[in-house]
């Protein structure tokens, strides 16, 4: 039985793209061209509502799948991360320099969550390519409770709040400090996952403490993380040998890995070596997608055992930096 048609939303670093599946492949619709579209978040309550963060500054919102857009404000703020809480619909935005904002009215107004910058570790935060600054790389609201929120600082640590971002606990024990992406399991309360510059980690106590999960993987520099929505023990990361290989224009020295039964395995079926870095992994109930820095989109229908490249119609993609599925 083949999977049902799907929709994905993505960003290229400069624009937004909607990918709709048809019988002959995926059609592409571009928007927000040359806007600096970097990150995006789907409203879990509405598959047509998407928020996009612009590294050039600000947030845009669509309520019709990308046909029309509105400006959600935050002028001048370089947005590096964005998330929508499944438990309460709150919208969170992380910026460079590191700061965090929350909107409780769909992006009409914003409150700065200044408690994040009061953490004792804050003076040590520094992004190596721009050591005078740092940014909030990832935000992960707990889908099971509106109170719990994770935020990853690149580079500074994995922080946790239990009051919707008003106050914060400093870097969590066992987690990696160079946070690249975070995920919660949608059905199992308390299970969270991290991909970071030093490796991968997971938590089973709501992000309070973390366990390193790197055994059996020959590449430590992890970038994207995705979790199977039906199995908390089955999750995936993309990884490279280091930042220069991952983000350079040559050989990314990268692989996609699957963790199950407590250990990692390299997924076959993808090109070897990979032509570019897998910047985005998305797992749904019946499919696993990998979006590449080169703009290619690959999918697996058997949890990573075999893969095929997705045919993309219309204007081609030259880059994919973020993906979300319209099936929340």
Q: What pLDDT sits at residue 280?
A: 97
Q: What pLDDT sits at residue 76?
A: 79
Give the separation between CA 139 and CA 205, rounded to whole angstroms: 18
Q: Where are the alpha helices (DSSP H) in 237-324?
A: 243-247
Domain ranges of the chain: 26-325
Coil, helix or strand for 87?
Answer: coil
Q: What pLDDT sits at residue 3?
A: 43
Rounding to the nearest 10 degrees, give the CA dihedral for residues 183, 221, 153, 74: -80
Give the separation between CA 10 and CA 187, rounded to whole angstroms: 24
Task: For the chain, 328 residues long, give each residue's pLDDT as a single digit of tens.
Answer: 344 458 999 999 999 999 999 988 899 999 999 999 999 999 999 999 999 999 999 999 999 999 999 999 887 789 999 999 999 999 999 999 999 999 999 999 999 999 999 999 999 999 998 999 999 999 999 999 999 999 999 999 999 999 999 999 999 999 999 999 999 999 999 999 999 999 999 999 999 999 998 988 989 999 999 999 999 999 999 999 999 999 987 789 999 999 998 899 999 899 888 989 999 999 999 999 999 999 999 999 999 999 999 999 866 788 999 999 997 6
Give the separation between CA 251 and CA 276, rounded to whole angstroms: 7
Whether the model pTM is above 0.75:
yes
CATH of domain 26-325: 2.130.10.10
Q: What pLDDT sits at residue 140?
A: 98
Q: What pLDDT sits at residue 275?
A: 87
Classify strands 70-71 and 149-154 as parallel, antiparallel or unpaired.
unpaired
């Amino acid at each position: 039985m083949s999977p049902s048609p799907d929709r994905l939303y993505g960003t290229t670093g400069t624009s937004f793209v909607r990918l709709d599946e048809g019988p002959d492949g995926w059609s592409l619709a571009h928007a927000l061209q040359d806007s600096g579209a970097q990150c995006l978040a789907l409203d879990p309550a509405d598959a047509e509502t998407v928020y996009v963060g612009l590294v050039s500054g600000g947030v845009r919102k669509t309520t019709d799948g990308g046909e029309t857009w509105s400006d959600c404000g935050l002028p001048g703020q370089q947005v590096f991360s964005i998330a929508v809480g499944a438990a309460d619909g709150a919208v969170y935005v992380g910026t460079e320099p590191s700061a965090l904002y929350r909107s409780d009215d769909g992006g009409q107004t914003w409150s700065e969550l200044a408690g994040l910058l009061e953490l004792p570790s804050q003076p040590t935060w520094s992004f190596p390519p721009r050591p005078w600054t740092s940014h909030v790389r990832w935000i992960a609201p707990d889908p099971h409770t509106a109170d719990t929120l994770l935020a990853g600082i690149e580079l500074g640590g994995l922080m946790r709040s239990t009051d919707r971002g008003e106050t914060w606990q400093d870097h969590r024990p066992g987690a990696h400090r160079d946070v690249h992406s975070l995920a919660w399991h949608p059905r199992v309360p308390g299970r969270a996952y991290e991909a970071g510059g030093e490796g991968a980690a997971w938590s089973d106590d709501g992000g309070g403490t973390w366990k390193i999960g790197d055994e059996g993987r020959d590449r430590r520099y992890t970038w994207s993380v995705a979790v199977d929505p039906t199995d908390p023990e089955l999750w995936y990361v993309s990884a490279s040998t280091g930042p220069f290989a991952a983000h350079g224009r040559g050989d990314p020295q990268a692989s996609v890995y699957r963790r199950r039964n407590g250990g990692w395995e390299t997924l076959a079926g993808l090109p070897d070596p990979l032509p570019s870095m897998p910047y985005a992994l998305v797992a749904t109930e019946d499919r696993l997608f990998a979006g590449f820095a080169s703009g290619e989109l690959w999918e697996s229908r058997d949890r990573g055992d075999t893969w095929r490249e997705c045919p993309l119609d219309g204007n081609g993609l030259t880059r994919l930096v973020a993906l979300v599925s319209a099936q929340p």
